[in-house]
Structure 1
Amino acid sequence: MYGRHPPLTDVTLVPHPLGLKVTGEIDYANRHVLAGALDQALQTGKQDLRLDLSGLTFIDVAGMRVIVAGAGRLPQGRRLILAPVSPQARRLLTLTGWRHASGLHMP
């Protein structure tokens, strides 16, 4: 895709409850932004980590794979809580079957 700039995304650390707020678009071209922030947050503390996906306007399978892989790396008893979740992210999690992935919780 010549001339296309990577979609804009913003990942912000939220200190209480510990987590990240993700806004904009996450896709193959910029998934590294989310991956880096998620890796750092997963290493912080021993409590559950909240991922606010309400501001996502788009996420593809590559972006969702980053989230599911992060949840899978959590130690037993710790969860990656997706709340609130954009309709697009909820639909992708349901279609892929990742809604019930290990370490992932979506109320």
Structure 2
Amino acid sequence: MEVFNADFRTVIMTIWPEARPCRPPPAAGLRDPSPHDLHVDLLEAPALLRVSGEIDRTTRRLWEEALGGLVIRGEDMHLDFSGLTFVDVRGAWLLTEAARSLPVGKKVFLHHAPYCLRSVLTLIGPDPSPIEVETQ
């Protein structure tokens, strides 16, 4: 009888795929706007945040600050994602945390949420949260 000895070890690996094409750096002091950059515009009434670009590790701080600004207002939040091309799992998780930080009875309404965001929100779990996704 042959005995199989296995050595089980935990390996944690992070892979950062190069999603953007390589290009030469812009001239000193000038920066080419990239379609991958995150752009956030706040419109006052109702509390509407228009988001375009990508939410990833390079733009996460801006995303978190924008959400925090809306949470402080304590109103229903409306997020227009018609220009959003990508959101990573952490970006979606920050959205759920912001929704849970709202006062009782207040909600987050997602308008034009791309498939990548809807699918990540589904994966995060069935935990009841005050997020409503606009259906078309």
TM range (shorter): 0.7 to 0.9
Letter in 2 for 1:71: A
- For the pair 1:9 / 2:38, whether they are aligned, the reply is yes
Structure 2 counterparts to residues 37-56 of structure 1, below 5 A: 37-44=66-73, 46-56=74-84
Large movers: runs of 4+ above 6 Å: none
**2:109 and 2:131 in contact (8 A); partners too:** yes
Give the TM-score of the pair, scaled to structure 1.
0.82
In the TM superposition, residue 29 of structure 1 has moved relative to its aligned partner by: 2.4
Structure 1: any 5+ residue segments left out of the alignment?
Answer: none
Structure 2 counterparts to residues 1-107 of structure 1, below 5 A: 7-44=36-73, 46-97=74-125, 101-107=128-134
Structure 2: any 5+ residue segments left out of the alignment?
Answer: 1-15, 17-21, 26-33
Of Structure 1 and Structure 2, the greater strand share is in 1
The count of residues paired between Structure 1 and Structure 2 equals 104
Identity of aligned residues (%): 33
Higher RCO (CA-CA < 8 Å; seq separation 6+):
1
| Partner deviation per Cα, 1:41-67 (whole Å, 9 max, x = no partner) | 2212x4311011221101010111111
Of Structure 1 and Structure 2, the greater helix share is in 1
CA–CA distance in 2 between the matches of 1:101 and 1:12?
28
What secondary structure is seen at the aligned counterpart in 1 of 2:112? strand
